[in-house]
Amino acid sequence: MLLLRLYLAVLTLSLLCVICFTRGLGPIEGTVIVCPLLFMILDMQVELRAFRQLERRVTDYLAEK
């Protein structure tokens, strides 16, 4: 999953650089660049929430012992 996120981030940044250096950033290009970044942010929030729940379960389990 981490490799997929890194690939998406590198692809988005390279697309941004190519567009900025060739012709400028328009509304369509802005949308294409912003959508994957928003997806990555929202996906990380969901994953961090799941990680915190797992951390609580492990802490409660270890506290019982």
Q: What is the pLDDT of residues 4-45, one digit of tens each?
A: 777 877 888 888 788 778 887 778 777 877 887 888 888 888
The whole-model pTM stands at: 0.52
Q: Do 37 and 12 form a contact (C-beta atoms < 8 A)?
A: yes
How long a stretch of residues is the chain?
Answer: 65
Q: Do 40 and 9 form a contact (C-beta atoms < 8 A)?
A: yes
- The pair of structure tokens assigned to 57 is 């379960």
Q: What is the pLDDT of residues 43-64, one digit of tens each?
A: 888 888 888 999 999 999 999 8
Question: What band does 2 get if pLDDT is binned at 50, 70 and 90?
Answer: low
- Residue 14 belongs to domain spanning: 2-64
